[in-house]
Amino acid sequence: MRKKLYLILGCLSLVLGAIGVFLPLLPTTPFILLAAFSFERSSEKFYRLLLENRIFGKYIKDYTQKKGITYKNKIIAISVMTLGMGKGFLSMQNIYGRAFLLIVYLVVLTHILKLKTLKEN
């Protein structure tokens, strides 16, 4: 039963991550990492497919196995996040929504900055 729940969570996370590529307010990376975490516990086949994916595979391996990301990827992640969250922040009229976005932005920014910086191959 636990494996099935992890498999469902992994599939749902992967779909949300894919949608997040096109929707600025929905973060891609956390959902893809959650999918990897879930597939690792439920389906060796899906986990392997995700790690071998030409788009996400290297980033997932760096994050999960080497516990870091490259300097270039830190800059890209922070830039994309700033643009997406900034657009959402400016277009949002609700003060609580803006506060929420700002808190999420600061937490994720802190996490990215604290990650070990890997040397590029």
Residue ranges per domain, the chain? Answer: 1-65, 69-121
* Contact yes or no for 39/7 (Cβ under 8 A): yes
- Confidence at residue 25, expressed as pLDDT on a 0 to 100 scale: 66
Instruction: Check whether 16 has a pLDDT greater than 80.
Output: yes
Residue 121 burial class via C-beta count within 10 angstroms: exposed 0-12, middle 13-18, buried 19 and up = exposed
- Whose CA is closest to 37, among 1, 9, 4? 9
Q: Which alpha helices (DSSP H) does 1-121 contain, by range?
A: 2-22, 29-42, 44-51, 57-65, 71-91, 95-114
Among 15-19, 23-27, 58-62, the range of highest mean pLDDT: 15-19
The phi, psi pair for 17, rounded to 5°, reads -65, -40
CA distances from 5 to 15, 32, 38, 39, 50 (A): 15, 16, 9, 10, 18
3-state secondary structure of 15: helix
- Confidence at residue 90, expressed as pLDDT on a 0 to 100 scale: 87
Which residue would you say has higher pLDDT here, 39 or 27? 39
> Residues near 77 by Cβ (< 8 Å), separated by ≥ 6?
29, 69, 112
- Over the stretch 69-102, which tens digit does the pLDDT of each residue have? 889 888 988 888 888 888 888 888 999 989 998 8
- Over the stretch 31-66, which tens digit does the pLDDT of each residue have? 888 999 999 999 999 999 999 998 888 888 888 888
